[in-house]
C-alpha cells in the first residue's frame, strides 16, 4: 500500500532514504565531505525543508513495514520533479520501484503536470536504462562543479 506522508513521518523518510542510497554512495565514493547533498546524507531538516516547499512524499508499505518512498515537487504548473525514489536494498527486484514511479506519475498528472523530470548519476547506467524502460527520455548530460559525478537529466511526457 502506498500512502501520502506527513511531516510526522520525517524520521521514517530519513531512514528509508539514507538506507536506500547507502549502496550508491559506497559505489561512487560519495561522502559528506565530497557530496553533502547526496540522499545518503539525508537528515530530518531536509524533509522539513521539502515539506515547507510543498514537496509531497509518499511511503510504500508492505505488511505495514515501510520499504520505500518517493517525492514529487511541482515548481511550475505543468512540470513536476520526481525525487528521492527509494527502495530498501533487500526489497529491490520486486517492482516496488516501478509502482512508486507510476504512483508519482499519476500524482503529477492529477496536479496538471505535462512532464516529470528527474536527475540521476549519469554513470549509473543500469538506473538510466531502468528509467528509459519506464518511458523517461534523456534530455541533457551535465557537469556541476560541486558534484563528483555527471548528472543525467531525464523527462517523462504525460499524455
Sequence spans of domains, the chain: 2-114
pTM of the predicted protein model: 0.94
Between CA 73 and CA 50 the distance in angstroms is 8
Tell me, what's the pLDDT at 143?
95
Tell me, what's the pLDDT at 151?
97
User: From the CA atom positions of the chain, what is the Rg in Å?
Assistant: 15
Tell me, what's the pLDDT at 159?
87
Tell me, what's the pLDDT at 27?
95
Give mean pLDDT in consecutive 10-residue pieces for the chain, a chain of 159 residues. 97 98 95 94 97 97 97 97 97 96 98 98 97 98 93 97
CATH superfamily, region 2-114: Gcn5-related N-acetyltransferase (GNAT) (3.40.630.30)
Amino acid at each position: 500500500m502506498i500512502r501520502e506522508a506527513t511531516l510526522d513521518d520525517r524520521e521514517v523518510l530519513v531512514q528509508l532514504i539514507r538506507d536506500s542510497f547507502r549502496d550508491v554512495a559506497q559505489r561512487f565514493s560519495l561522502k559528506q565531505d565530497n557530496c553533502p547533498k547526496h540522499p545518503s546524507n539525508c537528515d530530518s531538516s531536509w524533509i522539513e525543508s521539502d515539506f515547507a516547499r510543498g514537496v509531497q512524499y509518499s511511503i510504500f508499505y508492505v505488511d505495514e513495514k515501510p520499504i520505500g518512498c518517493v517525492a514529487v515537487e511541482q515548481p511550475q504548473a505543468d512540470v513536476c520533479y520526481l525525487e528521492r525514489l527509494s527502495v530498501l536494498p533487500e526489497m529491490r527486484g520486486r517492482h516496488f520501484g516501478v509502482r512508486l514511479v507510476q504512483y508519482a506519475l499519476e500524482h503529477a498528472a492529477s496536479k496538471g503536470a505535462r512532464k516529470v523530470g528527474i536527475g540521476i548519476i549519469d554513470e549509473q547506467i543500469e538506473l538510466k536504462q531502468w528509467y528509459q524502460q519506464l518511458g523517461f527520455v534523456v534530455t541533457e548530460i551535465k557537469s556541476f562543479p560541486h558534484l563528483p559525478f555527471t548528472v543525467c537529466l531525464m523527462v517523462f511526457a504525460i499524455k
